[in-house]
Amino acid sequence: MITEHFINASVTPTGNLDTLSPHEVARLQDRSNSGLHSLFRQCALAVLNTGSEMDSTREVMHHFRRFDVQISHKFRDVQLDLINAPATAFVDGEMIHGIREHLFSVLRDLLYVKDELDTCCDGMHESQHITNLVFHILRHAGAMRPHVKPDMVVCWGGHSINRVEYEYTKKVGYELGLRKLNICTGCGPGAMKGPMKGATIAHSKQRVENGRYLGITEPGIIAAESPNPIVNELLIMPDIEKRLEAFVRVGHGIIVFPGGAGTAEEILYILGILLQEENKENPFPLIFTGPEESHAYFETMDRFIAATLGERARSFYEIITGDAHDVSQRMKERLDQVTAYRKKTGESFHFNWDLTIPLALQKPFEPTHEKMAALNLSRQQPDHELAAQLRCALSGIVAGNVKESGIRAIEEFGPFELTGDIEVIDALSELLDGFVDQRRMKINHEEYVPCFKLAHRK
Structural contact between residues 379 and 424, judged by C-beta atoms closer than 8 angstroms: yes
CB 14 within 8 Å of CB 97? yes
Question: What's residue 243's pLDDT?
Answer: 96
The pLDDT score that the predictor gives to residue 14 is 67
Taking the CA atoms of residue 245, residue 149, residue 287 and residue 224 in that order, the dihedral angle to the nearest 10 degrees is -40
Q: What type of residue is 74?
A: K
pLDDT at 2: 37
Give the 3-state DSSP-derived string for the chain, with helices as H, strands as E and coil as C.
Answer: CECCCEEEEEECCCCCCCCCCHHHHHHHHCCCCCCCHHHHHHHHHHHHCCCCCCCCHHHHHHHCCCCEEEEEEECCEEEEEEEEEEHHHEECCEECHHHHHHHHHHHHHHHHHHHCHHHCCCCCCHHHHHHHHHHHHHHHCCCCCCCCCCCEEEEECCCCCCHHHHHHHHHHHHHHHHCCCEEEECCCCHHHCHHHHHHHHHHHHCCCCCCCEEEEECHHHHCCCCCCCCCCEEEECCCHHHHHHHHHHHCCEEEECCCCHHHHHHHHHHHHHHCCHHHCCCCCCEEEEECHHHHHHHHHHHHHHHHHCCHHHHCCCEEEECCHHHHHHHHHHHHHHHHHHHHHHCCCCCCCCCCCCCHHHCCCCCCCHHHHHCCCECCCCCHHHHHHHHHHHHHHHHHHHHCHHHHHHHHHHCCEEEEECHHHHHHHHHHHHHHHHCCCCCCCCCCCCCCEEEEECC
Question: For position 288, what pLDDT does the model report?
Answer: 98
pLDDT at 204: 97
Burial of 207 (0-12, 13-18, 19+ CB in 10 A): exposed
pTM for this model (two decimals): 0.92
Mark the ranges of the chain whose per-residue pLDDT is less than 70: 1-4, 14-18, 51-58, 74-76, 115-123, 442-446
Sign of CA dihedral 11, 13, 18, 24: negative
Domains and CATH numbers, the chain: 6-115 (3.30.1850.10), 142-345 (3.40.50.450), 361-456 (no CATH)
pLDDT score of 79:
85
* pLDDT per residue as tens digits for the range 73-114: 765 578 889 999 988 899 988 999 999 999 989 888 988 877
Cα–Cα distances (Å) from 213 to 63, 183, 220, in that order, read: 29, 5, 21
Q: What is the pLDDT of residue 1?
A: 36
